[in-house]
Amino acid sequence: MIEFNNVSKIFENGAKGLCNLDLFIDKGEFVFVVGTSGSGKTSFVRLLMKEIEPSGGQILVDGQDISTIRRGKLPYYRRKMGVVFQDFRLLKNKTVFENVAYAMQIVEATNREIRRAVPQVLALVGLQKKAKAYPSQLSGGEQQRTALARAIVNRPPLLIADEPTGNLDPDTAWEIMTLLEDINDRGTTVVVATHAHDIVDDMQKRVVALRNGELVQDVGVSSFPDLGGIIDEA
């Protein structure tokens, strides 16, 4: 599904984003990418979204070298993935329903399809009663659930979450993680960049730890050690 082959990213100011990263994430996996600030988590997500280009190496998604995707085709590549950000990034002038429907409108779904799919996905994230609310009328957790609903409404094979619980209290953070796990159970590959080690410890999923842009540990589910230590160290 996702393959990073010797990928490096050095920014114009000389800062290192990633250093010779080799990584393979299989279809249907749930992977945490962990590390402290500046470890390269966000660079990893931005490279995967093709928001920035690597300085070296090759990134394959579904077998396709994403460096070959032309700018005009980029939106179609991004439609294969749902993305959730720490700051939710909802359209503030649209209601919850409209924010979710927006992702379907850009793929020119019919109104009938939108009216059918959006309530279903809102029910999945527990927001069916908030469909007419605007983002400013929602709590942080509700906004993140709206962003999650928008990310999955088109049933993308890949879901990327960049610090999805960063702005949430522990209980709400758990609700979001549980939802991500449910989505993964339905077959979607989920990649979560986070530094919330307590959640990572408890969820017992594959953990890729980065430090200064380098892969310092890749811990599979079968050999689950003391993850809190890895994240703190990373």
Contacts with another protein by CB under 8 A lie at 49, 51, 72, 75-76, 78-79, 83, 85, 89-93, 102-103, 105-108, 110-111, 150
What is the C-alpha separation between 131 and 155, in angstroms, rounded? 19
Cβ proximity to another protein, 83 vs 208, nearer residue: 83
Min dist CB 202 to another protein, Å, is 29
Min dist CB 18 to another protein, Å, is 20
Cβ proximity to another protein, 63 vs 72, nearer residue: 72
Min dist CB 225 to another protein, Å, is 35
Min dist CB 157 to another protein, Å, is 13
Cβ proximity to another protein, 193 vs 230, nearer residue: 193
Q: Under a CB-based contact definition with an 8 Å cutoff, are residues 160 and 80 in contact?
A: no
Cβ proximity to another protein, 107 vs 221, nearer residue: 107
Q: Under a CB-based contact definition with an 8 Å cutoff, are residues 234 and 34 in contact?
A: yes
**By 3-state DSSP, what share of the chain in percent is helix, strand and coil, each rounded to 5?**
40, 25, 35
Cβ proximity to another protein, 148 vs 203, nearer residue: 148
What is the C-alpha separation between 34 and 217, in angstroms, rounded? 10
DSSP structural state of residue 91: -
| Residue found under tokens 């017992």 | 204
Quote the tokens at residue 185: 């159970």
Alpha-helical regions (H) of 81-234: 96-105, 111-124, 140-152, 170-185, 197-203, 227-233
Give the side-chain half-sphere CA count within 13 A for 37: 1
